[in-house]
């Protein structure tokens, strides 16, 4: 199964260069994501844009295949990539700035999605965990009776990328998935959280 790592954003709010290469505990965030998918047995393709030439070079240096999209926006870049590579099967998509994703989480999502019979999946985390970790939740919905925020980890059906998808909204009680790092303050919080795990 293919995993697309969406790594085209510049991260202007961070003011620390290209966002995928910003380090958490001395390691680029994209490297956490790459390792998690590879260790889970998936094939990895990074989706980059002209905004992130150093990220593209990092991918090349680390043997990661990449696709350069135009950089219009997340959804546009995703659709462009899926259309151009001709992938017509379900695939994971994950933002490059989600250092808390692990092979175990990926395996659980894959199992739960497979059991659901649906053709897509989005992973959500209780909003209370975002607040507990001092991470802002930009958008929330009630999932299984719990106010929750999207994590940035999804399964996407490539057979008809522009069509509405029958989607499992999967709620996971995973504090590590709250760290979709967008601000300097959230980077500090991530350093503290993941530093305790090393």
pLDDT, residue 9, reads 80
Distance CA 110, CA 7 (A): 22
Q: List C-alpha distances in Å: 58 to 71, 81, 183.
A: 18, 19, 22
**Could you tell me which of 45, 41, 55 has the C-alpha nearest to residue 10?**
55
pLDDT, residue 158, reads 86
pLDDT in tens, the chain (198 residues): 999 999 998 776 777 789 999 999 999 999 999 999 999 999 999 999 999 999 999 999 999 999 999 999 998 999 999 999 998 899 999 999 999 999 999 999 999 999 999 999 999 999 999 999 989 998 999 999 999 999 999 999 988 777 788 999 999 999 999 998 888 999 999 999 999 875
Contact between residue 91 and residue 170 where contact means Cβ atoms under 8 Å apart: no
Contact between residue 34 and residue 75 where contact means Cβ atoms under 8 Å apart: no
pLDDT, residue 198, reads 55
Distance CA 186, CA 99 (A): 12
pLDDT, residue 58, reads 97
Distance CA 50, CA 40 (A): 29
C-alpha dihedral, 198 to 155 to 161 to 21, nearest 10°: 0
Phi, psi of 23 (to 5 degrees): -95, 145
Contact between residue 62 and residue 82 where contact means Cβ atoms under 8 Å apart: no
Structural domains of the chain sorted by starting position, each given as residue range(s) with its CATH number in brackets: 2-195 (3.90.550.10)
pTM of the model: 0.93
């Amino acid at each position: 199964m293919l995993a697309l790592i969406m790594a085209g954003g510049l991260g202007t709010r961070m003011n620390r260069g290209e966002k995928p290469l910003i380090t958490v505990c001395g390691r680029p965030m994209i490297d956490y994501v790459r390792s998690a998918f590879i260790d889970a047995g998936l094939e990895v393709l990074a989706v980059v844009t002209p905004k992130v030439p150093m990220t593209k070079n990092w991918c090349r240096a680390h043997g990661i295949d990449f696709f350069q999209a135009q950089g219009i926006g997340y959804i546009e870049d995703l659709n462009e990539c899926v259309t151009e590579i001709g992938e017509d099967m379900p695939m994971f998509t994950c933002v490059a700035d989600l250092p808390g994703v692990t092979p175990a989480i990926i395996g659980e999502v894959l199992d739960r999605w497979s059991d659901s019979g649906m053709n897509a999946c989005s992973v959500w985390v209780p909003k209370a965990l975002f607040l507990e970790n001092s991470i802002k939740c930009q958008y929330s919905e009630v999932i299984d009776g719990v106010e929750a925020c999207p994590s940035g980890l999804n399964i996407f059906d490539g057979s008809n990328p522009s069509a509405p998808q029958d989607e499992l909204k999967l709620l996971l009680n995973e504090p590590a998935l709250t760290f979709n790092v967008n601000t300097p303050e959230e980077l500090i919080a991530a350093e503290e959280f993941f530093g305790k795990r090393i």
